[in-house]
Amino acid sequence: DLPKTRTVRDITEERVVITMDKNQLIYLGNDPVNIHDLGPKVKAKLRRANDAVFLRCDETVRFGAFAAVVDELRHSGIVNISIVTEPISERQRTQ
């Protein structure tokens, strides 16, 4: 389950998507990847250096694990990172 927000952008297949599941396993697209290999593998998939990378993370993952992924990307020179969320339902907005 992704965190919920009011603003959500669709992800198309040509975008580079990183996912961290509830077990803190990391995937680049559908392929599992070690955090230490993440930066170079992401850079190889980007068309331009400033292209956005989309990061999806299960809402139960501890912030430290999420921050480690962001740090690894930034250390590799990837700074255009968009965080993927799900829309908040109308009922959740009024609570």
Q: Give the per-residue pLDDT at 77.
A: 94
Over range 73-95, report the average pLDDT. Answer: 78
In the predicted structure, residue 80 carries a pLDDT above the cut 80: yes
Which residue matches tokens 């961290």? Answer: 20
Tens digit of each residue's pLDDT (9 = 90 or more) over 22-67: 999 999 999 999 999 999 999 999 988 889 999 999 999 999 999 9
Radius of gyration over every alpha carbon of the chain, rounded to an integer in angstroms: 14
Mean pLDDT for the chain? Answer: 84
Segments making up each domain of the chain, as ranges: 4-93
For the question of whether the overall pTM of this predicted structure is more than 0.85, the answer is: no
17 and 51 Cβ atoms separated by less than 8 Å: no
> What CATH number is given for 4-93 in this structure?
3.30.420.270
